[in-house]
Chains A and B, each alone.
Chain A
Amino acid sequence: MSGIDRRNFIKIAGLTTIIGLSGKPLADAFASQPAQASAAEKEGHVGKRWALVIDPKKCLEKEGCRACIDACHRIHNVPQFDNRKDEIKWIWKEEYEKAFLDQENEFIEDSLKEKPVLVLCNHCDNPPCVRVCPTQATWKRQDGIVMMDWHRCIGCRYCVAACPYGSRSFNWRDPRPFIKEIDKDFPTRTRGVVEKCTFCNERLAKGLPLACVEACPEKAMAFGDLEDPESEVRQLLRNRFAIRRKPYLGTQPVVFYLV
C-alpha cells in the first residue's frame, strides 16, 4: 500500500493536534505580554504611579483605633473570622518589629517599639506575586496598582508563597456567612481564590479617595501620584525620611512609612 495508511494517519493527526493546541496559547502569551493600556485618565484621578505614605506617629495618636481597617473591610466585603486559620485581611495592624523584621534594633525609639504599624499590599514596582501567577489573575496596572481578577484565579496560592509581606489571603471556605453586612456595590469572593488590597481601584475610577485614607481621623495617610512632583506624597517624601518594608528584596514597595 502506498501513501498514508489508517494507522499512520491517526498518528500524524494526533501529533498535529497536540502541536496546534500547544502552539496557539504560547504564541498568544508572548504577543500579549505588554501591560494592558490604562484608561484611568478618562475620568477621576489622573495618576501614573500611585503611592501611599503612612505617618506611624499620627496613626498611634488614638490607641486601638481601627477606623481605616473597618472602613476598608466593610466596603470590600472582607469576612471576619474568629480564628487565625481562615483569616482574611487587606489592611491590618502588625507589631513594628514584625512588620520591619529587618529593622531589628534593640535601642529603637520607644514610641515605635512594640507599637502597631499599619500594613497592607505594598503594590510593588517589581511584584513577585505577579511574576509567579500562572494565569495572569494578578497583574500590575500601568498606574502601578497590583490588581486581582477573582474570576480567573485558580487558587494555586503560588502568589501567597511569593509575597514577602504576607499581604495575601486565601478563601479557605465560603466567606459569605462571615460578612456581617454585605455591601452590594462590591462583590464578595468565592471560596478557593486569593484576595488582597487593590488600592480601591473601583473608587479611584470614580474619583473617590482610598477608603482607608478617607476614614482616618488623624489624617495619618496620604495617597497620591509619585510621578507628580507637586503631589502631597512627593512633598512628604521630600521633607521627611521614609522607610519601606524589606527594601533589600528589590520589590520597590510604594507604601512608605515616615520616621
Chain B
Amino acid sequence: MLEKALVGDKKYWTWVLFLMAIIATGFLFYLRQLGYGLGITGLSRDVTWGFYIAQFTFLVGVAASAVMVVLPYYLHNYKMFGKMTILGEFLAISAVTMCILFITVDLGQPMRAFNLILHPSPSSVLFWDTIVLSGYLLLNVIISRVTLESERKGIKPPSWIKPIIILSIPWAISIHTVTAFIYSGLGGRPFWFTAILTPRFLASAFASGPAFLLLVVFIVRKFTRFDPGREPIQKLAQIITYAMLLNLFFILLEVFTAFYSRIPDHMTSFQYLFSGLDGHSKLVPWMWTSVTLGVLAAVLLVNPKTRQNEKWLIFACAAVFVSIWIDKGIGMVVAGFVPTPLGAITEYWPTFPETMITLGVYALGFLMITIFYKIALSVRGEIST
C-alpha cells in the first residue's frame, strides 16, 4: 500500500519536501545537541524538564484521543464515525512516534536508551510508560493495517481484530493515565502532586486531540474528495465541548483547593503562571492567552448556533488546541519546577536550537500523518493517485 504515497500532485510533493526540509534542519540541530549536551537548551539545574517533555506530555493526549472516534464506532455501533476512525488511528500512530522521539531527544545519554530494557525497573513510572506507549503504537499499527487492507480488498475485516480494537480503548486511557502518574506521584513537587492531574490530563486530551482531528479533516476535505459528512463532525464537536468544559472545571477545582486552603506550596506555582512571582512573569501572557482562548472556545462550542456554524467551529477547534497546547505544552511542566524545592525562582524559555529540534520532531509527525492519510484516502478512491 505504501506505493500510494509515492505518487501525488505538485501540491502534495511541495508539502512533503517542505516537511523534509524542516526535519533535516531539526536533525542538524540535534547533532549539535549531541555534541554539546543538553546545555544547548534553555534548561537549567533548577528547571530540568522543559519543552521536550512538555510536548511529549501534550502529544500523549493527542494519541489517546483517537479513542474518542474508535469508542463510539465500535462500542456503540455509531456507524457515522466509520470514515474517521482510520484517521484517528493514524493520528495516534504519528503522535506516539513523536512522543517517543521527544523522550529520546530529552535524554542526556541517548546512546544508553537501551538500558531501559536491559535494566527494567517496575517501580519507575517511566518503565510502565514505555510499555503502554509501545503497546499502544503496536495496537494501532495492527488495527489500522488490517482494517485498511480489508477495505482495499472490499471484504469484512477478520473477526480476530475486534477484540484487539476493544483492547485499544482502555489502552488509550492507560497511556495518558500513566503519563500523568509520572508527575502526580512526586511528593516533592506540590504543583503536580494532585489526584485531579490524571482526570485533567484525560479531559484536556479528549478536547485537544479531537479538535486537532477535526481541523485536519477540514483541511483534507478542502484538498480531496474526502467528506465524512455533517453529522459525525457535529458529533465530534459535541465530544470536544464536553471534554473542554470538564477540563476548565478541573482547573477551577485546582485553583479552589490551592487558594482557599492558602497553603503556600500549592499556591506559588499558580501565582507564577498567572501573576508572576518576584517579578518573574515570562509565562503570564501565555497563560492568560490560554485561559482566554479556552473560555472563548467553550462559549462558542456550548452555543449550538456557533457550534453548528462551520466557520465558528473551525475557530473554536483551533482555540481549544492552542489553549491546551499552551497549558500542557508550556505551563504544566515548567510550573512544577517554579519555585524549586529550595524556593528559588528560575525562569525557563526554549532556546533557538531547542525550538528547531522540536519543530523537526513535529515535522516528522506531520509527514507521517500526510503519508498515512494519503494512503488511506487513495485506498478509498477519495483522492486521485
Contact = CB atoms under 8 A, between A and B. Distances in A.
Contacts of A246: 188, 341
B120 A249 contact: no
A85 B39 contact: yes
A87 B45 contact: yes
Interface in B284-332: none
A154 B188 contact: no
Interface stretch (B109-117, B147-155, B201-209, B352-360): B109-117
Interface in B70-125: 103, 106-110, 112-113, 115-125
A161 B53 CA distance: 12
Contacts, number: 160
Interface in B245-302: none
Interface stretch (B171-179, B225-233, B342-350): B342-350
Given A155-B107, A249-B188, A29 B48 contact: no
Contacts of B346: 84
Which of the listed residues B43, B48, B189 has the most CB atoms from chain A within 10 Å of its own CB? B48
B44 A98 contact: no
Given A99-B342, A161-B48, A152 B125 contact: no
A17 interface: no
Contacts of A25: 117-120
Interface residues of B, number: 48
A162 B215 CA distance: 37
Contacts of B378: none
Nearest to A165: B341
A164 B126 contact: no
Contacts of B118: 25, 135
Contact of A161 (B44, B117, B189): B189
Nearest to B127: A134
Contacts of A133: 121, 124
B166 interface: no
**Chain A interface residue number, banded:** 35 or more
A113 to B, nearest CB: 15
B38 interface: yes
Interface string B36-80: 111100011110110000000000000000000000000000000
Nearest to B43: A172
Contacts of B196: none
A250 B188 CA distance: 11
A25 B37 CA distance: 30
Nearest to A155: B108
B337 to A, nearest CB: 8
Interface string A16-29: 00100110011011
Given A29-B120, A85-B39, A135-B119, A154 B341 contact: no
A128 interface: yes
Nearest to A167: B341
Nearest to A169: B45
Interface in A164-178: 164-166, 169-174
Given A87-B45, A101-B343, A135-B115, A28 B109 contact: no
Contacts of B39: 85-86, 172-173, 191
B340 A154 contact: no
A29 B121 contact: yes
A135 B121 contact: yes
A229 B66 CA distance: 61
Nearest to B114: A154
Given A152-B115, A173-B36, 15 more contacts: A25-B120, A84-B46, A85-B39, A86-B45, A87-B44, A128-B188, A136-B119, A136-B121, A154-B109, A154-B115, A158-B182, A161-B48, A166-B46, A249-B187, A249-B188
25 contacts: A25-B118, A25-B119, A25-B120, A29-B122, A84-B46, A87-B44, A94-B342, A128-B186, A132-B126, A133-B121, A134-B130, A136-B119, A136-B121, A153-B108, A154-B115, A166-B46, A166-B340, A166-B341, A169-B45, A170-B38, A170-B108, A191-B38, A192-B37, A192-B109, A246-B341
